[in-house]
Amino acid sequence: MSSAIHIANDIPTSPISADLAAGRKRLESAWNGIIPGIVLVAMITAVAFSAHNVSGFALFSPMILAVVAGTIYSNVLGLPAHAKAGIAFSQKRLLRFAIVLLGFQLTFGQVSGIGLGGVGIVAATLGATFLFTVALGKLIGVDAKLAQLIAAGTSICGASAIVATNIVTDARDEDVTYAVAAITLFGTIAMLGFPLLAPVFGLDQHAFGLWAGASIHEVAQVIGAGFQNGSQAGETATVAKLTRVAMLAPMVIALGVMARRGSSDASGARPPLPWFVAAFVAVVALNSLIAIPAQIHSAIALAAQIMLTMGLAAMGLQADISGLRSRGLRPLMLAFSAFIFIGCFSLMLVKFV
């Protein structure tokens, strides 16, 4: 019996089995390496969602609160070394999938709801604001990558656009945090102030909804401002804003092309192709063709929000406050100027076009 056991133990392991075992060990090691970071990011995310339900914080989306909470945590308590891999996973992988899932919030039919003129106003406002912000940033000496993040956040859809843009611009985490903070500040001012200006400018519900949707930064801020002036204004504002969200795809593609053309890397390496943008467009098309049950649609929307919040929590965890201070007030002035420009430019189009 002992000799049989000895012979069985001497049977060589096949190369395929050895490769499978080695691959399984590498996968387990990689997964175990990211778990601590994901747990930390999930804790910050839970704090953000809980704070959002507290009176006084409801004006701010969980994404914004997650950036703040992550930044405070890392700069006060420090960032554990064993959590870095999971934080990086949350910042990159989860964000890309979240942006794809955002496509389920939009259909091509919704875009047509504001009419060809409304789509033209949204597109013209987006393009003019982006170009104005980038040009002004160059003029006053703001870093080009940070200026692009502020331009995207102002002209398209706030924090989500900043995240998507950063995938091709590859700015510093501190720049992302700065851009999100600035966009949140002026978007909140717009959400609270624009409804008060509707009667001053003689805007009916449709016109105000179009103005709010074309100019206010975050989706939640647009909804908050729009419905303050009536249900028709809220619905028009939401559709106009989602039309801006749909334009995220061509904008990111254009920035990716610009980044490749302007690359000084002698090796000819290219920035990562924005595959998630193509997936986003495909999801919008799918959502336009197939009626998705309301419960599933709500679950997808919640999953996208959670993943976006986790991604921004990860960015906050890696942000260095000293790096934010080093940027000075110029980027803040750039964000303020972009805020004034998009409000005035879109209002002019709504009133006179």
Q: What is the DSSP letter of 268?
A: -
**How many structural domains comprise the chain?**
1
pLDDT score recorded for residue 24 = 58
pLDDT score recorded for residue 330 = 92
Within a domain: 204? yes
- Chain position carrying tokens 């940033």: 137
Q: Are 271 and 170 in contact (CB under 8 A)?
A: yes
Mean pLDDT for back-to-back runs of 10 residues, the chain (353 residues): 50 55 55 81 93 79 83 86 85 79 80 83 94 96 93 88 83 85 85 90 92 88 83 84 83 76 49 64 87 89 88 80 75 95 96 84
Nearest Cα residue to 307 out of 90, 67, 156, 149: 90
Within a domain: 338? yes
Within a domain: 26? no
pLDDT score recorded for residue 19 = 54
Give the model confidence (pLDDT) of 298-311 as tens digits.
899 899 889 888 98
Which amino acid is located at 203 in the chain? Answer: L
Which amino acid is located at 348 in the chain? Answer: M
Within a domain: 22? no
pLDDT score recorded for residue 56 = 73
* CA atoms of 293 and 274, how far apart (whole Å): 29
Nearest Cα residue to 207 out of 94, 121, 329: 121
- The torsion region of residue 206 among left (phi > 0), alpha (psi -120 to 50) and beta comes to alpha
Q: Are 334 and 137 in contact (CB under 8 A)?
A: yes
pLDDT score recorded for residue 147 = 94
Domain around 54: 35-352
Within a domain: 14? no
pLDDT score recorded for residue 197 = 93
Within a domain: 6? no
Residues 6+ apart with CB under 8 A from 16: none
Rounded to an integer, what is the distance from CA 308 to the centroid of its chain? 7
Q: What's the Cα-to-Cα distance from 116 to each of 192, 209, 246, rounded to whole Å?
A: 28, 15, 15
Within a domain: 155? yes
Q: Are 151 and 342 in contact (CB under 8 A)?
A: no
* CA atoms of 202 and 276, how far apart (whole Å): 41
pLDDT score recorded for residue 105 = 79
3-class secondary structure per residue, 277-344 = HHHHHHHHHHHHHCCCCHHHHHHHHHHHHHHHHHHHHHHHHCCCHHHHHHCCCHHHHHHHHHHHHHHH
Give the model confidence (pLDDT) of 144-187 as tens digits.
999 999 999 999 888 878 888 887 888 888 888 889 888 888 88
Nearest Cα residue to 70 out of 44, 52, 100, 37: 44
* CA atoms of 346 and 343, how far apart (whole Å): 6
SS3 98: helix
Q: What's the Cα-to-Cα distance from 349 to each of 125, 199, 211, 344, rounded to whole Å?
A: 8, 17, 9, 9
Within a domain: 151? yes
